[in-house]
Amino acid sequence: MIELPLRIGYCVDETDSDRISDLYSLRSQSLIELTQIERIPCKKCGEQIIYDDVFIRRGYGICPVCQKSVFKSGNSIFQQRISRINYSEIINTIDKNLKKIFNSSSLSFDEVGFFWQINENDMTTLISIYGVSISSSLFSIGQDEGIVLYLDGVDLSPKINNFNKLRFRFFNDPILKNEKDFRDLIKSLDYSNTVKYLEFRKQFEQFINEVNPYFFEGEFSSQFIESIKKNNAHLKTLFSQLQSVKNTIINTKFVNVGGPGQPDFFLIDLFDYLQDALKPEKIGEMKCYTSTEFTIDQFGKAIVHAKSRDTLSIVSTDNIHPFVWVEIINYRNLEGYYQHVIIDKDLMLLLIYNLDLLHLIDVRKIDPKNLKGK
Q: What tens digit of pLDDT does each residue of 336-360 get?
A: 999 999 999 889 988 998 898 999 9
Q: What are phi and psi of 49, to 5 degrees?
A: -105, 130
What are the tens digits of pLDDT across the range 201-241? 889 889 988 998 888 888 898 889 889 888 888 999 999 98
Asked whether residue 239 falls in the same domain as residue 361, the answer is: yes
Residue 1 has pLDDT above 90, yes or no: no
What are the tens digits of pLDDT across the range 76-128? 999 999 999 999 999 999 999 999 999 888 999 988 888 898 888 777 788 88
Give the Cα separation of 173 and 270 in Å (integer): 28
Asked whether residue 99 falls in the same domain as residue 113, the answer is: yes
Asked whether residue 181 falls in the same domain as residue 222, the answer is: no
Give the Cα separation of 138 and 148 in Å (integer): 12
Give the Cα separation of 150 and 172 in Å (integer): 9
The predicted structure's pLDDT at residue 93? 95
Question: Which of 62, 85, 108 marks a domain boundary?
Answer: 85
What are the tens digits of pLDDT across the range 145-169? 678 899 998 888 888 876 677 888 9
How would you class 328 by CB atoms within 10 Å of its CB: exposed for 0-12, middle for 13-18, buried for 19 or more? buried
Asked whether residue 176 falls in the same domain as residue 263, the answer is: no
Residue 320 lies in a domain: yes
Minimal CA–CA distance to 264: which of 206, 318, 303, 322? 322
* Residue 245 lies in domain: 211-370
Give the Cα separation of 230 and 228 in Å (integer): 5
Q: What is the CA radius of gyration of the chain?
A: 24
How would you class 330 by CB atoms within 10 Å of its CB: exposed for 0-12, middle for 13-18, buried for 19 or more? exposed
Residue 261 pLDDT class (50, 70, 90 cuts): very low
Residue 95 lies in a domain: yes
Query: 322 versus 196: which is more confidently predicted?
Result: 322
Q: What are phi and psi of 259, to 5 degrees?
A: 125, 145
Asked whether residue 34 falls in the same domain as residue 64, the answer is: yes
Question: Which of 170, 197, 224 marks a domain boundary?
Answer: 197
Residue 5 lies in a domain: no
Residue 107 lies in a domain: yes
Residue 75 pLDDT class (50, 70, 90 cuts): confident
Residue 134 has pLDDT above 80, yes or no: no
Residue 193 lies in a domain: yes
Cβ–Cβ < 8 Å for 140, 146: yes
For the entire predicted model, the pTM comes to 0.78
What are the tens digits of pLDDT across the range 319-329? 898 899 999 99
Asked whether residue 52 falls in the same domain as residue 123, the answer is: no
Residue 257 burial (CB count, 10 A):
16
The predicted structure's pLDDT at residue 113? 83
Residue 142 pLDDT class (50, 70, 90 cuts): low
Asked whether residue 81 falls in the same domain as residue 92, the answer is: no
Residue 195 pLDDT class (50, 70, 90 cuts): confident
Residue 4 lies in a domain: no
Q: How many domains does the chain have?
A: 3
Residue 196 has pLDDT above 80, yes or no: no
HEC string of the chain?
A: CCCCCCCCCCEEECCCHHHHHHHHHHHHCCCEEEEEEEEEECCCCCCEEECCHHHHHHCCEECCCCCCEECCCCCCEEEEEEEEECHHHHHHHHHHHHHCCCCCCCEEEECCCCEEEEEECCEEEEEEECCCCCCCCHHHHHHCCCEEEECCCCCCHHHCCCCCCCCEEECCCHHHHCHHHHHHHHHCCCCHHHHHHHHHHHHHHHHHHHECHHHHHHHHHHHHHHHHHHCHHHHHHHHHHHHHCCCCHHHEEEEECCCCCCCCEEEEEHHHHHHHHCCCCCCCCEEECCCCCECHHHHHHHHHHCCCCCEEEEECCCCECHHHHHHHHHHHHHHCCCCEEEECHHHHHHHHHHCCCHHHHCHHHCCHHHECCC
Asked whether residue 226 falls in the same domain as residue 156, the answer is: no
Asked whether residue 228 falls in the same domain as residue 356, the answer is: yes
Give the Cα separation of 257 and 317 in Å (integer): 17
Residue 260 has pLDDT above 70, yes or no: no
Give the Cα separation of 163 and 186 in Å (integer): 16
The predicted structure's pLDDT at residue 102? 92
Residue 203 lies in a domain: no
Asked whether residue 146 falls in the same domain as residue 230, the answer is: no
What are the tens digits of pLDDT across the range 268-325? 999 999 999 887 666 555 567 666 788 899 888 888 877 667 888 888 888 898 899 9
Asked whether residue 358 falls in the same domain as residue 299, the answer is: yes
Question: Which of 148, 169, 197 marks a domain boundary?
Answer: 197
Query: 74 versus 348: which is more confidently predicted?
Result: 348
Q: Residue type at 94?
A: I
Asked whether residue 133 falls in the same domain as residue 224, the answer is: no
